[in-house]
Amino acid sequence: MELPRQEEEIITDMCYLMKEQFLPAGEIVYNVGDEQDSILIVLDGEINIKVKHNAQDEMLLDVLVKRCSYGYHTILKMLEQIE
């Protein structure tokens, strides 16, 4: 399937903006209320999406594994506001 030229250019631009980031186990990527300005794509390992109510009470919402992404909904909303 061939993409329309404009979509192809957008994907190319996105690839130039990508950067690889290595996170140690247990690293907090985002906290509730943090401004999100990127899309995460899991290349290896996994990311646990948790909600913490207090130090002892947390709930696992989802686990992102290889090839999963997180954050594109937020970026799309930002782009809609710009247009």
Please tell me the number of Cα atoms within 13 Å of 41 on its side-chain side: 7
Query: Residue 64's pLDDT is what?
Result: 93
Q: Which is higher by pLDDT, 26 or 74?
A: 26
Alpha-carbon distances, residue 70 vs 5, 13, 50, 55, 73 (angstroms) = 26, 19, 13, 25, 8
Round the CA-based radius of gyration of the chain to a whole number and report it.
16
pTM here is 0.65
pLDDT bin (cut points 50, 70, 90) of residue 1 is low
